[in-house]
Each structure stands twice: as C-alpha cells, then as structure tokens.
C-alpha cells in the first residue's frame, strides 16, 4: 500500500448563508484532490468564519490558532492545504510571519499547498507575493473607492471633476496632486522583482497569472512594465519634456529629459531604481540575458585558451533529455551546463559567505580609488581646456596654416569639455554610492547565506552577475573551476570609468606644437 503523509486542511465559511454549505463542499473537495495528487491524507480540518478572515489577524482566528498548534505539536503532520490566498488572510504579512514562518522554522520539511492551483505555496515566489499584496489591497480598495467617490461629489461645487491624465499605476489624483494609492505596494513590488533580473515580459505574465488587475483591464503587457520602470515619478520626480519631438511620440531615455525632483511622494527608493536601471543598461549594452537557466552564460571562460565559453543546445527534436553545453570556441572542449552550474553553485556556497566582508571593503575602497582617479581626470581636462583656450586667444589670423590650427584647437576644446563633463557626472554617481544608505542597499542584498536554495534561476543568475567577474574552467578529468569575484557590484560604472581614464591616458602625451609666427 502506498504510504501517505499526513496533512491538514483550512476552510473558510462563506458569508452568504445560502452558499455556505455549497462553498465548504467545493473547498473541501478541491483540497482533497490536491492532497491526493501529492500523496497526502487530510487528518484534520479547520474552519473559520468568513468575517473573521477579513477583519482579524491570522492568530486572532480560532481555527488558524488551532491549526498552528496542531502542526507544531504533531510530528507526523507535514502538509497544510488551503483553498486560495484570500482564505488564509487578507493581511499580507501576518499569515507568513505568524503561521508560515514559525512552522517552517520548527519543521522545514512541512509543505504548504494552494489547492486552487494545486501547487506548492511559497511566499518567496514572486507570483505568491503578488497574490498576497493583492489580497491585502482588495479590501483597502473597496473602502478607498467609496470614499473617493463621495469626496468627488461632495467637495467640488462644480460637480465631479476628472483630472486630465490618468494617474501612473500606484498613484491617484487628489486635489490636482499625485499621491500613492492602494496599488502603491504592487508598484514597488514590480521594481523589486525587476531588480532581481526578471524581464518585462516575465513580470507581466507573473502579474496576469497572479490575477492582479492591469491598469487598462485585461492582461498585463510587457510594454506597460517598460513604461512603469522608466517613469521617474516612482522616485518622486516629475519628468518634463519626455517626448522626442512634437511629431515623434517615442520617449527619450533616462537621463536625457528634465526632471523636477521631489515633486511627488516616492514609492520606490532611489537605490532600488538605480539597481533596476543598472540591469537594464547591462541588458541593452551587452545583450546579456538574466531570464536564462544557464547561470554562467557570458561569465565562464576556458582556462587554457582564455576564450569566453558559448552555450550550445544540441538537443535532438523530441528528445526528453536536454543536451546543453558550455563550449570553448577555440579548443572545442565542453561541459554540460547543468553540471558546471552545479559545481560553481556549490563552490560559491562555500566561498561567498567567507568572502563577503572582503567584497564589501573592496567595494568601498574601489569607490575611493575611482574618486581619486576622476578628480585627476577632471584636473587634467580643465588644464587641457585652458591650454586650448590660450592657444585660440594667442593664435594670429595671419599665422601660417591658421585655419588648420583653428580646427585642431576647436577639436581639442570639444574633447576636453566632453571629458570634463563625463568626469563630473561620474563623480556625482560615485558620491551617491558612497552614502551609507545607498551603499548598503547595493551590498546587503548580496549577503544571502542560503541563497542557492532560496533564489529562483533568474534571481540566482542576477545574484551571480553582481558578484562574479569570471569563472575559469579547466577541462581535466574532473572539471575544475576557479571563481574570480568582482571588486564591486557597480558594473556599468566601472566600465564607464575605465573607458574615461583609459581614453585620458591615451590623449595626454599628444600635444600639437605651439603655433609659431605671431
Ligand atoms: Zn579552450
């Protein structure tokens, strides 16, 4: 006979008396089906009233409290089944904090199931988080909407008034100003998962799957997410002059339009916005993908040849097993992606916790070093600019080749001005990252002691990108790897500064001779 694990079911009575029994039957049969598919038998049922599930925190509810103590006290119970998120709590955090976490802490092997979807339920899953946020918002929305409608009707003597533009998702209009609305937490959530590498399309389908209503009703689209993630209003700034022109309605990219800062209550902290845009810049400039199961795509190289390993998928059609390899383009040696990923994950798991503090110090020292280098570049560019201006002032129009000299001097002025502007804007970025709040926001998220088991493949890949500079692979009998960790997670800044300082070093020596013949 098949051995079945023991689990408990949680039900909620409907507030509609006529539907009451019917609803309980549906919930119960759904849970039994889900339990059966996962080889569980339900040994206990817990039933709460409809009203209390909305109003009372999880542990103020009798059945929920009884469920908690049953699961904690009875060793053999290792499964909790419920009908859907709205049955367990209308408050996002209390069920997780007061029921889920304590159970997982004492009994890590205990599993939670959502009987509606028939899947394992884990609040660390982005889809589940979106569902929880929505369950929390649902009840808040009902009361806010009623209040809004009344305010509109009662307070405006000219009758209900509609603001011209629709408010960005997460905001609403109040007396002509934008204020965070009941969906603000979902807007923040969208930035949060974007900062862990999820693509616009992934986020859109996740929200649709979680049943979150989109701003325009219907399914979420990737373009809606793109527009949101590029809208500086979420940091409290109003963008001005964003369209490229009257006839061109496409938008200018971040940094190219004017901002009125601090006009609106921010929903997204600035460091989170910066991390999201760091990843978007990397994707755009390098074509690197984060929503891939291949942890080391673009990060691994052949130790012998020094070439970057390429991903080759040679799975035959209709083959149930996948054959995907990291291949060295020079020597042709290869290793299965899943195998190498596993070796590297294992090694990071062992090396990273011990390396983290060094990484943090190194990141801080790197910022100091960059500051010094940039101040040097700034000084040098200023001197070059002054020199060029002096040459222009002293160049006689009657000097031989005066016209060519004019052109050379103008070019030098342009180059020095560009260099000076880049140095100043990069110095501003370094200054922002040096602030402890910003620095910690970038660094602390990379201290995840149990990251291998906690993160999904996209998140893991994003995490790997921020900490790994390169993985050298040695194709011996047993594949050996050495991981070279990054000096700091500020990847695109490092590249911009590298380009600028290299470029300045190139142009230093070459000075045109003083024009003669005044
Ligand atoms: Zn090779």
pLDDT digit string, tens, across residues 366-391: 999 999 999 999 999 999 999 999 98
Give 399 Cα–ligand 1 centroid separation in angstroms. 59
Could you list the beta-strand ranges (E) of 261-419: 300-302, 310-313, 324-327, 334-336
- % of residues, the chain, pLDDT over 90: 44
Q: What is the pLDDT of residue 27?
A: 84
How far, in Å, is the centroid of ligand 1 from the Cα of 339?
A: 18
Q: Which fold has domain 5-122?
A: Rossmann fold (3.40.50)
Residue 484 alpha carbon to ligand 1 centre in Å: 18
* Per-residue b or e along 223-260, where b marks 16 or more CB atoms closer than 10 Å to that residue's CB: ebbbebbbbbbbbbbebeebeeeeeeeebbebeeeebe
CATH 1.20.1250.20 fits 130-286, yes or no: no
- Separation of CA 492 and ligand 1 centre (Å): 28
The 10 Å CB-count burial string (b at 16+, else e) for 291-308 is ebebbbbbbbbbbeeeeb
The pLDDT, as a whole number, for residue 327 is 95
**For residue 298, how far is its CA from the centre of ligand 1 (angstroms)?**
15
Asked if 486 and 493 count as a contact pair (C-beta separation under 8 A), the reply is no
Dihedral sign for Cα atoms in the order 267, 271, 273, 276: negative
The pLDDT tens digits of the residues spanning 438-481 come to 999 999 888 865 666 667 788 889 999 999 999 999 998 888 99
Q: In angstroms, what is the span from residue 343 Cα to ligand 1's centroid?
A: 19
In the reported structure, the alpha carbon of residue 310 is separated from the centroid of ligand 1 by a whole-number distance in angstroms of 11
Dihedral sign from CA coordinates of 138, 144, 145, 147: positive
Ligand 1 center to residue 338 CA distance, Å?
A: 19
**Measured in Å, how far apart are the chain's first and last C-alpha atoms?**
106
pLDDT of residue 453: 64
Token pair, residue 188, equals: 């923040």
The CA 499 to ligand 1 mean position distance, Å, reads 28
Q: DSSP label at 59? A: G
Ligand 1: distance of its center to the CA of 336 in Å? Answer: 15
- Distance from Cα 473 to the centre of ligand 1, integer Å: 9
Q: What's the pLDDT score for residue 187?
A: 94
Q: How far does the centroid of ligand 1 lie from the alpha carbon of residue 334, in Å?
A: 9
Residue 497: its pLDDT value, please?
92
- In this prediction, the residues of the chain whose per-residue pLDDT falls under 70 are 1-2, 14-22, 50-55, 84-93, 132, 134-165, 238-263, 448-454, 504-518
**Ligand 1 geometric centre to CA of 295 (Å):** 19
Provide the 3-class DSSP secondary structure of residue 30. Answer: helix
Q: Using the mean position of ligand 1's atoms as its centre, give its distance from the Cα of residue 282 in Å.
A: 26
HSE of 267 in the Cβ direction (CA atoms, 13 Å)? 26
309 C-alpha to ligand 1 centroid (Å): 8
Q: How far is the CA of 308 from the centre of ligand 1 (A)?
A: 9
Q: Tell me the CA–centroid distance for residue 306 and ligand 1, in Å.
A: 7
pLDDT in the model for residue 245: 47
Whole-number pLDDT of residue 147: 45
Phi, psi of 317 (to 5 degrees): -60, 140
| Ligand 1 centroid to residue 204 C-alpha, Å | 40
- For 102, the token pair is 């304590």
Q: What is the whole-number distance in angstroms between the Cα of residue 504 and the centre of ligand 1?
A: 34
Q: How far is the CA of 294 from the centre of ligand 1 (A)?
A: 19
Query: d(Cα 328, Cα 150) in Å, to the nearest integer?
Result: 67
For residue 292, report the distance from its CA to the centre of ligand 1, in Å: 23
**How far does residue 287's CA lie from ligand 1's centre (Å)?**
23
Q: What is the distance between the alpha carbons of residues 479 and 476, in angstroms, rounded to a whole number? A: 5
Task: Tell me how far the alpha carbon of residue 329 lies from the centroid of ligand 1, in angstroms.
Answer: 7
Q: Confirm if 306 and 315 have CB atoms less than 8 A apart.
A: no
Angstrom distance (rounded) from CA 1 to CA 210: 38
Taking the centre of ligand 1 as the mean of its atom positions, its distance from the CA of residue 470, in whole angstroms, is: 15
Look at the block and give the residue holding tokens 């002691």.
Answer: 449
Distance 483 CA to ligand 1 centre (A): 17
What residues pair up with 334 in beta bridges, in sequence order? 327
What is the C-alpha R_g of the chain?
30
Q: Which helix (H) or strand (E) holds 471?
A: strand 468-474
Distances (CA, A) of 53 to 32, 208, 325, 414, 419: 22, 25, 51, 67, 62
Q: How far is the CA of 301 from the centre of ligand 1 (A)?
A: 8
Q: Ligand 1 mean position to 317 CA, how many Å?
A: 28
pLDDT at position 150:
42
**CA of residue 327 to ligand 1 center, whole Å:** 8
Question: Cα(344) to centroid of ligand 1, in Å?
Answer: 18
């Amino acid at each position: 006979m098949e051995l079945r694990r023991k689990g408990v079911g949680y039900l909620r009575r409907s507030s509609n008396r006529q539907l009451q029994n019917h609803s309980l039957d549906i919930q119960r049969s759904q849970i039994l089906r889900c339990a059966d598919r996962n080889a569980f038998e339900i040994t206990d049922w817990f039933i709460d009233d409809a009203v209390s599930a909305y109003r009372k925190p999880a542990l103020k509810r009798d059945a929920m409290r009884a469920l908690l103590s049953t699961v904690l006290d009875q060793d053999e119970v290792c499964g909790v089944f419920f009908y859907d998120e709205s049955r367990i709590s209308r408050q996002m955090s209390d069920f997780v904090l007061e029921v889920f976490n304590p159970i997982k802490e004492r009994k890590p092997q205990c599993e939670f199931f959502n009987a509606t979807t028939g899947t394992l339920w884990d609040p660390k899953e982005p889809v589940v988080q979106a569902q929880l946020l929505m369950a929390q918002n649902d009840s808040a929305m009902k009361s806010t909407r009623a209040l809004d409608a009344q305010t509109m009707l009662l307070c405006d003597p000219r009758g209900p008034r509609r603001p011209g533009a629709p408010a960005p998702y997460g905001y609403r209009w109040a007396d002509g100003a934008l204020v965070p609305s009941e969906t603000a937490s979902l807007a923040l959530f969208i930035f949060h998962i974007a900062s862990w590498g999820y693509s616009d399309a992934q986020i859109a389908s996740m929200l649709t799957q979680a049943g979150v209503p989109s701003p325009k009703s219907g399914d979420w689209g990737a373009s809606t997410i793109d527009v949101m993630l590029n809208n500086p209003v979420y940091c409290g700034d109003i963008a001005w002059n964003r369209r490229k022109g009257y006839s061109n309605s496409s938008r200018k990219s971040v940094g190219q339009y004017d901002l009125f800062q601090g006009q609106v209550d921010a929903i997204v902290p600035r460091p989170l916005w910066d991390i999201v845009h760091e990843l978007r810049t990397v994707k755009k400039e390098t074509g690197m993908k984060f929503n891939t199961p291949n942890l080391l795509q673009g990060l691994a190289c052949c130790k012998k040849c020094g070439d970057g390993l390429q991903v080759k998928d040679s799975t035959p059609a209709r083959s149930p097993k996948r054959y995907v390899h990291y291949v060295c383009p020079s020597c042709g040696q290869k290793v299965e992606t899943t195998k190498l990923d596993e070796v590297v994950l294992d090694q990071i798991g062992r090396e990273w916790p011990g390396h983290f503090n060094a990484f943090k110090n190194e990141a801080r020292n790197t910022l100091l070093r960059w500051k010094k280098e940039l101040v040097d570049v700034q000084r040098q560019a200023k001197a070059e600019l002054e020199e060029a201006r002096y040459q222009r002032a002293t160049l006689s129009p009657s000097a031989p080749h005066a016209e060519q000299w004019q052109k050379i001097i103008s070019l030098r002025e342009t180059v020095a001005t560009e260099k000076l502007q880049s140095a100043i804007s990069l110095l501003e970025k370094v200054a922002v990252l040096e602030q402890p709040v910003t620095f910690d926001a970038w660094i602390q998220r990379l201290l995840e002691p149990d990251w291998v088991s906690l993160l999904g493949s996209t998140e893991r890949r994003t995490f790997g990108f921020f900490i790994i500079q390169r993985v050298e692979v040695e194709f011996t009998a047993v594949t050996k790897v050495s991981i070279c960790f990054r000096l700091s997670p500020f990847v695109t800044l490092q590249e911009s500064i590298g380009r600028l300082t290299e470029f300045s070093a190139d142009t230093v020596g070459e000075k045109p001779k003083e024009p003669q013949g005044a």
